[in-house]
Amino acid sequence: FDTSKLRDYGKLARLDLTAETKARVEKDSHKKNQHDFVLWFTKSKFQEQEMKWLSPFGTGYPGWHIECSAMSSTYLGKQFDIHCGGIDHIPVHHTNEIAQSEAATGKKPWVKYWLHNAFLELAGGAKMAKSGENFITLSTVEEKGFHPLDYRYFCLGTHYRNPLMFSGEALEGVKITRKRLNEKCLEFKSSKDPEHKSLQQHYMERLMQEINDDLNTPKVLATVWDMLKDEQLSKKDKYTLLLKCDEVLGLDLKKIKKDRIPPEITALAQERLLARNNKDWKTSDKLREKIAQQGYVVGDTKDGYELRKR
């Protein structure tokens, strides 16, 4: 691809086409300009290259920019709204996708909105590398006792264009926060309180404003917790608003079900309640600890007690 033939080449990255780039490899004598790129390879650095196709340009395979343009155009059309990716793709990959797609279709702009996320970083600001020992997968997170939705909530807490600092401590805090949110949702779900659509509207407008402000999910989460503290709203109002917010957040709040408590745990809780009623605090504390050892938490309420998984 001869980049000099496209008048606005490099517009996404605001490239200075007159500046020399420091190439990681030897300069390619076949390029007319330093930013030119391969559309179709007929030679591979791998001797046993399996993925080859016949083409008018010779037997070979597409350049990696072409793959993405081909898939996008096939499934989304010659022009579409949103393209995502990491910030590292801006100066080369996404720049070249735009160039070849707009040159091929004549559609300007090829993509209307580009959303580029910053990196997930570890302690000390180290960036995760796929080939490094510090590469953490979702399976790794699950093995450490976290639910995938804990990680999702964790991601929502930082704007996508800011670096996300990963640590076990941060994820542990999020796990507790998401559990609180789930408990609130369960509490409100069975409420028969009346709804006040006019009061709900205030929060709906805030939600729409914040999510349309460049997907500001941290602000959306803050609004959710403000809403939960609002004493003017009924429990039914809050449940309705939670489900509406979750259409954006994707925390599966609608699917939450009350924990099934084994009868033996319920029996211990009943025994503890009896001890409390008799002001036998020593026995009450021992039974609380026994329940905790089984993986459950017992909480005192005005009507008796409440059981849930830890």
pLDDT tens sequence for the chain (310 residues): 999 999 999 999 999 888 765 555 567 777 899 999 999 998 887 777 788 899 999 999 999 899 999 999 999 999 999 999 999 999 999 999 999 999 999 999 999 999 999 998 887 767 776 666 667 888 888 878 788 999 999 999 999 999 999 988 999 999 999 999 999 999 999 889 999 999 999 999 999 999 999 999 999 999 999 999 999 999 999 999 999 999 999 999 999 887 788 999 999 999 999 999 999 999 999 999 999 898 888 878 777 887 877 6
184 closest CA partner among 227, 128, 248, 152: 227
Enclosing H/E stretch for 85: strand 80-86
Q: How many CB atoms lie within 10 A of CB 39?
A: 15
**pLDDT for res 133:** 64
| Burial of residue 247, with CB atoms counted within 10 A of its CB: 0-12 exposed, 13-18 middle, 19 or more buried | exposed
306 strand-pairing partners: 299
Residue type at 228? L
Crossing angle between the packed helical segments 95-105 and 64-76, to the nearest 10 degrees: 60
307, 261 in Cβ contact below 8 A? yes
The predicted pLDDT at position 309 comes to 75
pLDDT of residue 289: 93
pLDDT given for residue 70 in this prediction: 94
Report helix angle 281-293 to 263-277, nearest 10.
Answer: 160
